[in-house]
Structure 1
């Protein structure tokens, strides 16, 4: 059985469909799955050589007027603190949100999905500072609310355990 590789596609236009992305990648080999979110997508392809050829050929290619960033997906470090950010304006993109959170510490990953986002921070103290300082902040006409959650995430190591969650409060 051939190895399946996960490919990240960044700078994806909001009009882009899963069918369009799948069609682009199927020219290089079997697509196992495709998921399109706001501004990015993931494709799982069977066959490492074919996946690498797709990456080489499609990176920088324009789709709906935007140049896609196509690269092997990098696994997120297991010991991050996850923040759910609700009530995110559609005018706010991941880079703007990332910049706001980076004022409080290293952001490992930031993904905007429709009207909410996930921000993964490296340190608990940084995540707590971001929550404290960004709670109730107005961003592009919408007020985000952030709160600690008592939910326990899947333990990744001895230092991880709590899930930081920002809750939509209307």
Structure 2
């Protein structure tokens, strides 16, 4: 099975006005396939002193966008006077993708396929807990006797769920 690639856009705020598409691509490129960059510069308004623009960065896969947010949001500074860049999903993206906002108390539930019969809820929780706070983890019985089961794992934060998907999807096999 190949990785499911769902394109997603990020909003980037506090971007210096003199930055080019190449600057943005070089900053965001290490996190994945940057498909598109759209820079929005403020209108020239001499009295207002606007020094910063913004951009939209489109990644080829949600895991790449999540990695960029995790790696840079609130941490990456390109202009000391502006402070860290503001990096988040573009308006409407979480809803379009069926993901809740990344706020405390709002969970992200994952479906896990091909869980062997000998794996219990505790072992399932242990595997996924490496990627964040798991609030619920349980296996469901197979449709046919002797078949692999499925499971559900709920994280307290969307970013933790996305990190688990990126690390485990098509890469991890239960022992």
Report TM bin, short chain: 0.3 to 0.5
User: TM-score, normalised on structure 2?
Assistant: 0.41
Structure that is richer in strand per residue: 1
- Please report the TM-score for the alignment, with normalisation by the length of structure 1: 0.42
